[in-house]
Amino acid sequence: MDYLIKPLTPQMANTFADYLGGLDFGHAPHWATCYCMFYHLACSHEEWQNRKGPENRAEAIAGISSGKMKGYLAFDGDKCIGWCNANDAASYVRLKNELEPVIKEKKVGSTICYVIHPDYRGQGLARQLLKVAIEDFRKEGYEAVLSLPVDASMDAQKHYRGTVNMYKQQGFREIQRHGDVCVMWLEL
């Protein structure tokens, strides 16, 4: 089924925050306070563990309002049902040391996180979000798209970065592997 996919705008900052704040993260309680800020911050692991949800929510809203935090929201009518964090790969400062040797001087987009409402999982919504992100990266003059899915077929909790298969279906190829993390690359 096709759902409406919209690029995140400052006007949708509260929709984004309310969507993530309203989900049940019982399967991964540490995600409940993230508001997709983890990869946008270069703080230590200890500092991250001490951050509170309201702080992350406020910073996410500020980042969306300033245009630093980008991505896509999916809707079924007026109901928000999904999120994809899609941005310039350099915006994920937590991954700077890992990404710089791969990206080099290229303009590279990246998708790093998908949060799909439980009622809509398994319906191809993440694939739809990825497809729109790729199309927009291409229109914006990006040279490539990089993603880092975890190849963990038995642990669905680790699929928040998308699945290796969904990237392969869009033409990505695996260029590196670090344990069960695949570095997937799509030349645009």
Query: Looking at the domain covering 4-187, what would its CATH class be?
Result: alpha beta
- pLDDT in the model for residue 158: 64
Instruction: Quote the pLDDT of residue 157.
Output: 62
Per residue in 30-39, pLDDT tens? 788 999 999 9
The pLDDT value recorded for residue 25 is 81
Contacts of 47 (CB under 8 A, 6+ apart): none
For the record, the structure tokens of 43 come out as: 């703080």
Delimit the domains of the chain by residue range: 4-187
How far from 79 is each of 2, 11, 50, 64, 183, CA to CA, in Å? 14, 16, 32, 20, 33
Give the pair of three-digit tokens for residue 100: 């710089």
Helix (H) or strand (E) holding 126: helix 125-139
Q: What is the pLDDT of residue 155?
A: 61
**Amino acid sitting at position 181:** V
The tens place of each residue's pLDDT in the chain, 188 residues long, gives 779 999 999 999 999 999 999 988 877 777 889 999 999 999 998 999 999 999 999 999 999 999 999 999 999 999 999 999 999 999 999 999 889 999 999 999 999 999 999 999 989 999 999 999 999 999 999 999 999 998 866 566 667 899 999 999 999 999 999 888 899 999 99
Strand partners, 83: 73, 115
146 burial (CB, 10 Å; 0-12 / 13-18 / 19+) is buried
Q: What is the pLDDT of residue 13?
A: 96
